[in-house]
Structure formats: structure tokens, C-alpha cells
Amino acid sequence: MAPTTYPARVEARQPRWRWERAKSDTTFLLGWRRNLIDLLVTGVPVSVALQFLGSKGAGIDELIALGVSLLVVFVVRPLVGLGWNYLQAPMRMLTDDVHALAARLEPMAPALTRHGVRLRVLEFVRAGVDLSGYYPVHQANVDRWSREVSEFLREYESVIDTAGVERFLAANDRSSPAATLRLRNAALQEIADSLKDR
């Protein structure tokens, strides 16, 4: 079996993609406020140090402090950040690949029996009753609960009566979120009862 050249090709390409990733992760120029603060943080200690060391050139001291500050803020810091991001590039790219792969893999839901589906519907009914116990009932909470229920009903539509699912989805009362919740919960209870009778 002939040896593959894949590792050699990857190794040959590695410096280029590492630098590209490092450059994209590095912020060379931060906001003007941050840069101003960094200039003061580096410039003031340098100026104080020059005064402490007994320098007599007052104007030259400020120029030296400004030059050192500019060098640190606009050259040294970005280069250090670029070097750090170059070292971190392989791990960050691997992390991105893992997240992309996890997003593409569909979670494998265990197949529920008819009785298991009924129990899950009853759990949703109980959650709806609990939700109606809060005052006031917020529309966002009703929407979140309804979305979870409808996703479950669509997932197990082969077991659940389609007419019951349609009643749940159509149940709506514009007078208040609590009224909508009561209607949808009643439709959900009917679905649970229909699963019991079969």
C-alpha cells in the first residue's frame, strides 16, 4: 500500500491557514477610548519613571513617554495578540469543526410508544396548568410552551390524531394570553384522552 501524501500536504498548508486564522482573530486597532486609556496607562508610568530617575529634559521626557506608549499600544500589543492567536489557531479551528459537526448531527430521539406519547402529552397539560397559575400569564411564556408542544405533536403525528393537533394549533383567544392557554390546554387534554381510548 502506497504511503499517503495527505499529512505532507496538510503540513505544507498549515502556516498559511494558521496565519489567516490568527489575523482574523486579532484586533489590531481597538476603539479610540480603549486606545486612549492604554496610552495613558503606559505613558504616565514611563513619564513618572523618567522623572524619578532624575531626567532634566521636561519636554523630551514627555516625547519619550508618548513614543513608548505609541509603540506599546500600536505595535507591541497587536504583535503579542497575533502571536497568541497563531498558537491558538489549531485548537480554535478544531473547536469550530466540533461545533459545526454537532450542529449537523440530528439528536436521536428514542421512539415512544403510544402510552409514552400520552404520558408526554399529559406532562405538557400539567405544564400548561402550572403556567396558568401564574398571574399575569405572559404571552411570551404561552408562546414558548405552545412552540414546545407543537414541535412534539409534529414529531409524533403518526401516533396522534391529526384533528386534535389541528384543534390545538387553531385554539386562540385574542382577549388574553390566559384564555388562549386554557383553550390550547383543553385541546391538548382531548389529545391525551384520545390516546387513552385507542
SS in 3 state form for 15-37?
HHHHHHHHHHHCCCCCCHHHHHH
What is the distance between the alpha carbons of residues 118 and 110, in angstroms, rounded to a whole number?
Answer: 15
**What backbone phi and psi angles, to 5 degrees, belong to 109?**
-80, 135
Claim: this prediction has a pTM higher than 0.85: no
pLDDT the model gives residue 30? 67
Please indicate whether residue 30 or residue 60 has the higher confidence score (pLDDT).
60
Q: What confidence tier does 116 reach under pLDDT thresholds 50, 70, 90?
A: confident
| For residues 158-180, average pLDDT | 83
- The answer to whether 61 touches 50, Cβ cutoff 8 Å, is yes
All residues at 6 or more sequence positions from 124 whose CB lies less than 8 Å from its CB, including other chains: 145, 148, 149, 152, 188
DSSP 158: T
The three-state secondary structure class of 174 is: coil
Q: Do 125 and 192 form a contact (C-beta atoms < 8 A)?
A: yes
pLDDT at 9: 45
Amino acid at 78: P
Give 33-79 pLDDT, tens digit per residue.
777 777 778 777 777 777 777 776 667 777 777 788 888 888 888 88
Domain residue limits, the chain: 6-104, 114-197
